[in-house]
Chain A
Amino acid sequence: MTSIALIIVMMLTLLLQAIIPTRKMLIIFCGATVTITIAAVLDNQSIISIYNGVPWDVLVILLGLGIFSTLFARSRIFSYLAVWCSGASKGDSLLILAMFSAIMFFLSCTLNNLTALLLVLPVLLTILKALGVTQDFIGLCFSLLIVACNLGGAATPIGDFPAILLMGTGSISFLRYLALAFPMCLLIFGIILSVAVYYHKKKVKENTSLLERSLALTSMAKLYRNIAIDKTILYPGIAVFCLMFGLWIAAAEIGLSPGVICFTGVGIYMIIKNEAAEEIIRHHVDFESILFLTALFLMVSCMAGSGLLDQVAALLSDSFKDTRMLICALMICCGISTAIFSAGPSMATMLPIAKQIILRGDVAGDTVYVGLALSVCAGSSFLLTAATAGPLAQSMVEKSGLKTREGSPAIFNFMTFIPFGIVSFTIIQLCGLAFVLARI
Chain B
Amino acid sequence: MKHSATDLDPRVILRTIESAISELGTFSTALILQDTVSKITGDSEAFDLAETLSETFPMYGELIATGNDPDDIKNFIKENTKYLAETLKGFTSIVVVGIEAVILDQLARHLPDSIIYIVPHTGNMDAERVLSNFPANVRLIDLRDLMPLGGVRSVLISYIFCPMGDDSFVYPVTFRAVGPDIRSAYNQIIGLNMLSGYQRYLSDMAPLYSTSRFFTTQFRMV
Q: Contact residues of A with B, CB < 8 Å?
A: 76, 122, 126, 129-132, 207-212, 214-216, 218-219, 222-227, 401, 403, 407
- In the A-B complex, the 6 residue pairs with the smallest Cβ-Cβ separation, listed nearest first, are A209-B3, A226-B133, A215-B16, A219-B20, A130-B16, A216-B16
Which B136-189 residues sit within 8 Å CB-CB of chain A?
Answer: none
Give every chain B residue within 8 A of A126 (Cβ-Cβ): 19, 126
Listed stretches B5-13, B83-91, B111-119, B203-211; interface member: B5-13
Choice from A130, A214, A407 contacting B19 with Cβ under 8 Å:
A130
Taking the closest CB of chain A, its distance from the CB of B18, in whole angstroms, is 7
Give every chain B residue within 8 A of A129 (Cβ-Cβ): 15, 18-19
Q: Is B212 part of the contact surface with A, judged by Cβ < 8 Å?
A: no
Given contacts A210-B40, A222-B20, A226-B134, 12 further A-B contacts (CB under 8 A): A209-B2, A210-B2, A212-B8, A212-B12, A212-B16, A214-B39, A218-B35, A218-B36, A219-B29, A219-B32, A225-B101, A227-B132
By DSSP majority rule, is chain A's interface helix, strand, loop, or mixed? helix
A214 and B3 alpha carbons, distance in the complex (Å): 12
Judging by beta carbons under 8 Å apart, are B15 and A226 in contact? no
Give every chain A residue within 8 A of B2 (Cβ-Cβ): 209-210
Judging by beta carbons under 8 Å apart, are B16 and A210 in contact? no
Q: Contact residues of B with A, CB < 8 Å?
A: 1-3, 5, 8, 11-13, 15-20, 23-24, 28-29, 32-33, 35-37, 39-41, 101, 105, 124, 126, 129, 132-134
Judging by beta carbons under 8 Å apart, are B133 and A227 in contact? yes
Known: A209-B8, A211-B8, A218-B32. A223 touches B15 (CB 8 A): no
Judging by beta carbons under 8 Å apart, are A223 and B23 in contact? yes
Give every chain B residue within 8 A of A407 (Cβ-Cβ): 11
Chain A residue, CB-CB nearest to B108: A226
Q: Would you give 5 A-B contacts (Cβ < 8 Å), ordered by A?
A: A122-B129, A129-B19, A222-B20, A225-B105, A401-B124
Give every chain A residue within 8 A of B5 (Cβ-Cβ): 211
Chain B residue, CB-CB nearest to A209: B3
Choice from A211, A224, A403 contacting B15 with Cβ under 8 Å:
A403
A219 and B125 alpha carbons, distance in the complex (Å): 14
A218 and B12 alpha carbons, distance in the complex (Å): 15
Judging by beta carbons under 8 Å apart, are B24 and A210 in contact? no
Judging by beta carbons under 8 Å apart, are B132 and A76 in contact? yes
Judging by beta carbons under 8 Å apart, are A225 and B133 in contact? yes
A225 and B29 alpha carbons, distance in the complex (Å): 13
Judging by beta carbons under 8 Å apart, are B132 and A215 in contact? no
Judging by beta carbons under 8 Å apart, are B133 and A224 in contact? yes
Give every chain B residue within 8 A of A209 (Cβ-Cβ): 1-3, 8
A423 and B28 alpha carbons, distance in the complex (Å): 46
A76 and B133 alpha carbons, distance in the complex (Å): 12
Judging by beta carbons under 8 Å apart, are B32 and A211 in contact? no
Judging by beta carbons under 8 Å apart, are A223 and B19 in contact? yes
Known: A208-B1, A226-B133. A130 touches B15 (CB 8 A): yes
A130 and B22 alpha carbons, distance in the complex (Å): 13
Known: A210-B2, A226-B132. A219 touches B40 (CB 8 A): no
Taking the closest CB of chain B, its distance from the CB of A140, in whole angstroms, is 20
Give every chain A residue within 8 A of B1 (Cβ-Cβ): 207-210
Known: A207-B1, A209-B8, A211-B5. A224 touches B19 (CB 8 A): no
Taking the closest CB of chain A, its distance from the CB of B184, in whole angstroms, is 36
Give every chain A residue within 8 A of B28 (Cβ-Cβ): 222
Give every chain A residue within 8 A of B32 (Cβ-Cβ): 218-219, 222
A194 and B17 alpha carbons, distance in the complex (Å): 32
Judging by beta carbons under 8 Å apart, are A214 and B101 in contact? no
Taking the closest CB of chain A, its distance from the CB of B44, in whole angstroms, is 14
Chain B residue, CB-CB nearest to A206: B1
Judging by beta carbons under 8 Å apart, are A223 and B129 in contact? yes
Give every chain A residue within 8 A of B29 (Cβ-Cβ): 219
A185 and B8 alpha carbons, distance in the complex (Å): 43
Taking the closest CB of chain A, its distance from the CB of B108, in whole angstroms, is 10
A208 and B15 alpha carbons, distance in the complex (Å): 12
Which residue of B2, B13, B19, B124 has the most chain A CB atoms within 10 A of its CB atom?
Answer: B19
Chain B residue, CB-CB nearest to A122: B126
